[in-house]
Amino acid sequence: MKLFLISGLGADRRLFNKLNVPGYELVHVDWVEPESSDTISTYAQKLIDTYDITNGANVLGVSLGGVMTVEISTLLNLRKAIIISSIKSADEIPAYFKFFRKVPVYKIIPHGFYTAMGGIIKPLFGDTKGKAGFLFADMIKNASPAFMRWAMHAILYWVPNPLNAKIYHIIGNKDLIFPHRRITTATHIVNEGSHDMVYTRGAEISKLIQSILNEEVA
C-alpha cells in the first residue's frame, strides 16, 4: 500500500529521510511549478493528476504539504489524511497571517533572497545545529524562488473548505510557525515538538504515523 508524502514550503523529499513506515511504499510528491493563477485548491488538483492520487489513498503532508493534504481530502475520499506541523481550518490560521496580507513584503523580495534566507529563518523551525540545520538551509537554497513566492501568497489567502473527512493532526507544542494553542482538535500533541520534528524526531513520528495507518477505517 502506498503512502504519499508532501513536504513543506522550501523543503523537499529529504525532509522525510528519517521516516520508517514498514508495510507502506513511500511515494514522494515533489513540488511542480504553479501557474500564477493557481490557488491551493487548483494546485492540489495538479498534484492529484501528476501523481495519480486516487480515492482510498493515504496522504501525509507537513506544513504547506499538510494544507495540500487537507485540500486533497476535500477532493478525494482518502483512506487516511495525516498532517504534521500544519493547520486544517480557518480557526487555526495564525494571527501573523493578517499582518502579511496587509503588508505583503513577500511580493517585493528579490527572487534571489528566497534561496538565501535559510540561515535567517531556520531558528523558527526547530533544531538549528548539526545535520538538521544544514539540511534545512540546503533545502531552502535549492528551492524554486518562483514557487516560494507563489506559495506564500497562496497559503496567506487560503480559504479552507469545511472538512468532510477525518484529519489526523500531529502538532508539536513548541511549533513556532503554527502555534499548537490555536489547534484545539489535534489528534496527537508531541511534547517539545518543533516545526521540523518529522525529521529531528523521525523515529517517534514514524511510530505515530504507523499507529494511525494501522487503525481500522470507520
Query: Which tens digits make up the pLDDT trace of 45-70?
Result: 999 999 999 999 999 999 999 999 99
Tell me the pLDDT of the chain averaged across its residues: 87
Query: Is pLDDT of 78 > 70?
Result: yes
* Planar angle of CA 54, 189, 196, nearest 5 degrees: 70
Query: Is pLDDT of 207 > 70?
Result: yes
Q: What is the mean pLDDT of residues 108-135?
A: 54
Query: Which tens digits make up the pLDDT trace of 163-187?
Result: 988 999 999 999 989 999 999 899 9
Q: Give the model's confidence band at 218: pLDDT under 50 very low, under 70 low, under 90 confident, else very high.
A: very low
The residue with greater pLDDT, 125 or 181, is: 181
Q: What is the mean pLDDT of residues 130-146?
A: 73
d(CA 76, CA 65): 16
User: Could you give the percent of the chain with pLDDT greater than 90?
Assistant: 64
d(CA 127, CA 31): 24
Reduce the secondary structure of the chain to three states and give it as a string: CEEEEECCCCCCHHHHCCCCCCCCEEEEECCCCCCCCCCHHHHHHHHHHHHCCCCCCEEEEECHHHHHHHHHHHHCCCCEEEEECCCCCHHHCCCHHHHHHHCCHHHCCCHHHHCCCHHHHHHHCCCCCHHHHHHHHHHHHCCCHHHHHHHHHHHHCCCCCCCCCCEEEEEECCCCCCCHHHCCCCCEEECCCCCCHHHHCHHHHHHHHHHHHHCCCC
Least confidently predicted of 27-41, 130-144, 198-212: 130-144
Q: What is the pLDDT of residue 6?
A: 98
Closest CA to 155 of 177, 179, 173: 177
Q: What is the mean pLDDT of residues 97-111?
A: 69
Query: Is pLDDT of 129 > 70?
Result: no
In the beta sheet, which residues pair with residue 10? Answer: none
The residue with greater pLDDT, 111 or 199, is: 199
Q: What is the pLDDT of residue 114?
A: 44
Q: Give the model's confidence band at 161: pLDDT under 50 very low, under 70 low, under 90 confident, else very high.
A: confident
Pairing of strands 80-84, 167-172: parallel
Domain 2-214, CATH number (from 3.40.640.10, 3.40.50.1820, 1.20.120.160, 2.70.98.10) = 3.40.50.1820
d(CA 164, CA 75): 10
